[in-house]
Chain A
Amino acid sequence: MTTDKKLDKNKKAKNIGKSRSPMQDAMREFRRNKIAVGGMIFIIFVVLVAIFAPIFSPYHFAQQNLRNNRAKPMEGYDVVESYAAEKCHWYETPVEWGCTVFIAGSDALGRDLWSRIIYGTRVSLSIALAASTVSLVIGLIYGTVSGYSGGNVDNFMMRLVDFLYGIPLLPIIILMTVYFNAVSRQGSDSPFVNSLLSMNKSAGGLLFVFIAIGALNWLGMARLARGQVLSYKEKEFVEAARALGAGKGHVVFKHLIPNVLGPLLIAESMAIPGYIFLEAALSFIGLGVSPPTPSWGAMINEGYSGLRSNPHLVLFPGLALASLTLAFNFMGDGLRDAFDTRLRGRN
């Protein structure tokens, strides 16, 4: 026992002497934030569910069972009750056995709601990933170029961003999505458009939503990146690198971008709930994914008309949507608190 304690003490003494990098500091701060860690664990869990969706869902998301439409949770109409009570469990529900039990009920076409919610994670998470990547890349490049060039180029590029800020982007994006949908229904002669259309088809109608949401959200990122570049451009270490004969590319890629990336990533993690909302909203008004791809927004739209008699058709997708965005918000807040040194030491 005593030796153990001594070892412990020694270890602690060693740690005192060691200096921690800002990254390690931030990670420590983040780990201390229980709610944020909880949010991250939930997100990792949802990612796993999305990847292994076929394992978690008893049916395929498009499999219809018309005799069992609008079943209540844990119910199925054609179940022989005595048989079901003995043989049917919630975890084994193939139709052939006569145990048509739906964990979360079934929708108007008799599709298992649980399976659709499970597969719906794929849509929401891919939107979160794709939209944040698109807006991050565009915003980073645009902001860095603008901030680093300075002068007239900077002026012009930022006026363009101001201009786009003054435009109500959502209605225009809705119109753009309508346009894409109309074109994809009609088909096209040009091979480029056709390859885009087939890509969109294989993505379940999501490609244009990616483009639309990415186009909406890079503006803020570009402003942030430009501000960061401007503040780092004149710092001593950049001067030093230049004095040592570093070229433009070296300064930008080795010194500026690594410093700019951190705040941008945090801003992205705070923006992800917005992307998920936007996809759900577009799907809700019928512009997002093409059926039968399950999206939570589209499921709410489908269940909404029968709210009075079948509230579970709205409740479960809604709960899924809210809990995922809640987890992202908790994690984003935690990341911001952990990396923002200004806030540290307050608590």
Chain B
Amino acid sequence: MSRFTWQSVLFLAPAVITLLLFAYWPLLQDVWLSFHSWNMVSPTMKFVGLQNYLQLLSSGELIKILLNTILYILVLVCVNFILPYLLSFIIAHRLNRFSFFYRSALFIPSTVSLAVASILFLWILNPLAGPLNIILSAIGLESPRWFKESGLVIIIIGLIIGWKVFGYNLILLVAAMVDVPKELIEAARLENVSNWQLFRRIIVPMTSSTALYVFVITVVFGLQYVLVPVNMLTQGGPDQGSTNLVYIVYQYGFVFFQTGKASAFAIVTMLLYALFLIVKTKVLDKKVHYEN
């Protein structure tokens, strides 16, 4: 930064101060808490050193939580990244009419709060009385107990979040797709390039920067969203089948009132996020084409 100016510092100040105050200061406190045993009201905090971390690493639940988290990420990436990516290509480049209608219609669920979505789907998916079961039993199938089967519960919660987030990601991706110059596609078409080649050689590289952004928010925000439906519908059950790195922090902190362990989990979660971003930087950014 050779032309470092005081103006730029001033411009940055509001954002930086907010972040320092509401992100980095609590982060430091979180580190401090993770070395203590405290229940949030007791006047005394017991220093326990690394005990919280050791318990966390030695308990069997960490593996289960990590596996669940990965499963959530896979489901979320499918419904909130790959699917909207493909559909946005169709909307932007394969339709002659009505693309505005599709974009709007698919976006509407994004305006519904996740709490509402959770209750709505609880009723729709009711295994005995819900509309889906009525349809399923009409064709002779028995409805699974969606929220009581481990594995299935993660997919269902992922789909509820997908239902909400899908439209927003789609809009972002359509905007990127529309920016791909029509002439390029036109030219490719004249060369008789197959659909797959067109997609692989032109669309993917030209939209990669937005796609990467959507991918990152899918993983990072997607996991934050998980908290609401899990807390409302399953409380981490069945037998921790729907718990994950984000919910476990909430559960230790606000259900079990063990702030030390909650903080330790939060730190581990943050380190994993950081790791994800490092991998993203080192591997994916190299392959991304930034237009400007």
Q: Do A and B come from one complex?
A: no
Residues of A bordering B, CB below 8 Å: none
Residues of B bordering A, CB below 8 Å: none
